[in-house]
Amino acid sequence: SSVLAKGSLLRYFSSSSSSGVLKIGDVLRQTRTFSNDDVSQYSKLSHDVNPLHFDSESARAAGFEDRLVHGLLVASLFPWIISSH
């Protein structure tokens, strides 16, 4: 079972420059499917046990479609995304 992100790995880089240097307005995208284990392990590390990450009903009651992946877990992908381009 997965949480939040679904789909296969996708890379996208858009730049008006052919120099390979990132510029304002460039877009970098990466999709990643986070597993229940990813969320559980990050929760143990961060001590963030907010029910929005584990309980679908709590997340829906707060106005979300389903459970949420921790924001910093998602942000941990940023260096990899940037360095891959």
Task: Give the chain's domains with CATH numbers.
Answer: 36-84 (3.10.129.10)
Residue 59 has a pLDDT of 97
Residue 15 has a pLDDT of 47
Res. 55: pLDDT tops 60 = yes
> What would the DSSP string read from start to end of the chain?
-EES--S---EEEE-S-SS----TT-EEEE--PEEHHHHHHHHHHHT---GGGT-HHHHHHTT-SS----HHHHHTTHHHHHHT-
pTM summary value: 0.66
